[in-house]
């Protein structure tokens, strides 16, 4: 399938406080973020014209910036309003939205003092990360080579661009081997997350999910946990070791891009796309489309 390059599209991007034509939203090659990963971002979705958990995403963008040592020049409310402005300018109702904040080109070197913080927001039509057919069949995940770093070596609680280098390496390797995605372990060898989504396992009326010591505590993750509790499922947040996966019946991923995506295979471990996965898929779809409180 042919995909338009992201620098050559019609439309508008919100850039440092104003809408600019899509192709004119540019930055210099000596931008600090390009060389030193001093950038944070969000992934959001609009369903039927309404952005799901908009304020939570905007607040996390600001919080991620503070963790990297910079203050966003816009408030959460201003970012929310800018997101709405972008959707309207591009005539989008169902869309993926990408706010990003980064250090500019005022400084070149590891030190950041004096660099300006820039913010941009783009939006485009982008269906679920995985096709409906693949999700209903159950995704196949490879056991990843690269691990999530220890919390004392990287700011794991920030949605920071630099942390996704590991994810890209693992995702590309998995695709080359015929898998849909990869499951990463953390620095201790515990189950962590997929390359861009949190993971859950089901057995005996309980949903088990890894602690967030080394992974991002996803907004979709928390929403699905609330849905599961309403269904009477017990949520168990704990350390999960790879060999435990043989004892689980069902498994699925959660994330803004992935939504709720069931799994059929992780390395040597097999799962069924059962009623729990299907129910939570439907509940989440109802929630984001306003059919569920």
Residue 46 belongs to a domain with what CATH number?
3.30.470.10
Tens digit of each residue's pLDDT (9 = 90 or more) over 20-37: 999 999 999 999 999 999
Residue 134 above 80 pLDDT? Answer: no
Rg of the chain in Å (alpha carbons): 19
Say whether both 119 and 76 belong to one domain: yes
Q: Is residue 3 part of a domain?
A: no
pLDDT at 136 over 90: no
Q: Into how many domains does the chain fold?
A: 2
Q: Is the dihedral of CA 41, 59, 68, 129 positive or negative?
A: negative
Tokens coding 207: 């949903």
6 in a domain, yes or no?
no
The verdict on 60 and 88 lying in the same domain is: yes
Residues 103 and 217 in one domain: no
Same domain, 239 and 111: no
Residue 52 lies in a domain: yes
pLDDT band at 223 (very low <50, low <70, confident <90, very high): very high
pLDDT digits (tens, 9 = 90+) for 232-242: 999 999 999 99
**Which pTM was predicted?**
0.94
155 and 265 share one domain: yes
pLDDT of amino acid 174: 98
Q: Is the same domain home to 43 and 140?
A: no
Q: Which residues are catalytic?
A: 159
Asked whether the predicted pLDDT for residue 2 surpasses 70, the reply is: no
Band the pLDDT of 126: cuts 50, 70, 90: confident
Is the domain of 176 the same as that of 76? no
pLDDT over threshold 50, residue 1: no
- pLDDT higher than threshold 50 for residue 259: yes
Helices (H) and strands (E) in the chain, counts: 7, 16
Under the banding of pLDDT at 50, 70 and 90, the label for residue 78 is very high
pLDDT tens by residue, 263-291:
999 999 999 999 999 999 999 999 999 99
| DSSP single-letter state for residue 8 | S
Domain stops at, among 76, 92, 124: 124
Give tens-digit pLDDT for 38-68: 999 999 999 999 999 999 999 999 999 999 9
- Check whether residue 182 and residue 149 sit in a common domain: yes
pLDDT of residue 132: 72
- The four Cα atoms 8, 12, 18, 23 give a dihedral, to 10 degrees, of 10
Residues 223, 99 within the same domain = no
Per-residue model confidence (pLDDT) at position 4? 87
Asked if 266 and 242 sit in the same domain, the reply is yes
Average pLDDT, the chain: 95
Q: Is 7 contained in some domain?
A: no
| Domain identity same for 146 and 282 | yes
Of 124, 143, 167, the residue at which a domain comes to its end is: 124
Q: Mean pLDDT, to the nearest integer, of 77-104?
A: 98
**Could you read off the pLDDT of 162-211 as tens digits, one per residue?**
999 999 999 999 999 999 999 999 999 999 999 999 999 999 999 999 99
Backbone angles phi, psi at 42, to 5 degrees: -135, 160
Q: Domain of 148?
A: 132-288
Phi-psi label, residue 212: left if phi above 0, alpha if psi -120 to 50, beta otherwise: alpha
Query: Among the three residues 124, 152, 182, which one is the final residue of a domain in this structure?
Result: 124
User: What is the rounded average pLDDT of the residues 92-110?
Assistant: 96
């Amino acid at each position: 399938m042919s995909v338009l390059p992201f620098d050559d599209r019609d439309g508008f991007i919100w850039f440092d406080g104003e809408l600019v034509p899509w192709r004119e939203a540019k930055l210099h090659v000596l931008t600090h973020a390009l060389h030193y990963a001093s950038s944070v971002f969000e992934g959001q979705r609009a369903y039927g014209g309404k952005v799901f958990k908009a304020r939570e995403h905007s607040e996390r963008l600001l919080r991620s910036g503070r963790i990297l040592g910079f203050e966003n020049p816009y408030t959460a409310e201003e970012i929310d309003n800018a997101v709405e402005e972008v959707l309207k300018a591009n005539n989008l109702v169902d869309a993926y939205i990408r706010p990003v904040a980064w250090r500019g080109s005022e400084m070149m070197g590891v030190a950041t003092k004096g660099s300006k913080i820039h913010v941009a927001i783009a939006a485009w039509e982008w269906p679920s990360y995985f096709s409906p057919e693949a999700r209903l069949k159950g995704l196949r995940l490879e056991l990843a080579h690269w691990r999530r770093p220890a919390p004392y070596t990287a700011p794991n609680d920030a949605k920071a661009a630099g942390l996704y280098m590991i994810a890209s390496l693992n995702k590309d390797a998995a695709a080359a081997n015929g898998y849909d995605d990869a499951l990463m372990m953390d620095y201790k060898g515990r189950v962590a997350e997929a390359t861009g989504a949190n993971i859950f396992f089901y057995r005996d009326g309980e949903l088990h999910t890894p602690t967030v010591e080394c992974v991002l505590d996803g907004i979709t993750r928390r929403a699905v946990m609330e849905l599961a509790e309403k269904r009477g499922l017990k949520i168990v947040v704990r350390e999960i070791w790879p060999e435990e996966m043989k004892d689980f019946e069902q498994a699925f991923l959660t994330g803004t891009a992935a939504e709720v995506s069931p799994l059929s295979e992780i390395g040597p471990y097999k799962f069924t796309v059962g009623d729990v996965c299907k129910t939570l898929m439907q509940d989440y779809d109802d929630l984001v489309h306003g059919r569920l409180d």
